Amino acid sequence: MRLLHTMLRVVDLEASIAFYTDIMGMTLLRRKDYPEGKFTLAFLGYGDEAANTVLELTHNWDTDSYDLGTAYGHIAIEVDDVYAACERIRNGGGKVVREAGPMQHGSTILAFVEDPDGYKVELLGSK
């Protein structure tokens, strides 16, 4: 068994694809419209789906907002340098909501950014 993907429902698919590709460095792996169901699926990741867990963005054509709820936490992405990643994301127009630094009760360096729909993405140092 292996984890295949995580799915997020998004309001503006183009803005979300731009965030995850242009700012977060993922690749759009595949995208398909389902006219009868009135939705589009887009799969993005840092490698092909055969060997990597990816992110599925679901855009329901007739939905203009979602309640993110309080149970959802975040997506975590490993980066070489959390400080540099925050700077790159900020310079690319991304929103850093927790600056890079050690976690509150430990030494792990982390930061949080927010995607266009308000989902949190945690950046964790690889070192």
The string of pLDDT tens digits covering residues 8-58 is: 999 999 999 999 999 999 999 999 999 999 999 999 999 999 999 999 999
Asked if pLDDT for residue 76 goes beyond 80, the answer is yes
Distance CA 7, CA 106 (A): 30
99 lies in some domain: yes
- What per-residue confidence (pLDDT) applies to 71? 80
48 lies in some domain: yes
Residue 30, domain CATH: 3.10.180.10
Q: Which domain holds residue 102?
A: 75-125
Active site residue 122: yes
Higher pLDDT, 54 or 70: 54
Domain tally for the chain?
Answer: 2
Distance CA 69, CA 44 (A): 23
Residue 123: how many other CB atoms lie within 10 Å: 23
Higher pLDDT, 107 or 88: 88
Residue 53 sits in the same domain as residue 90: no
pTM of the model as a whole: 0.88
Mean per-residue pLDDT for 67-86?
92
Asked if pLDDT for residue 127 goes beyond 70, the answer is no
Active-site residue (options: 49, 56, 78, 122)? 122
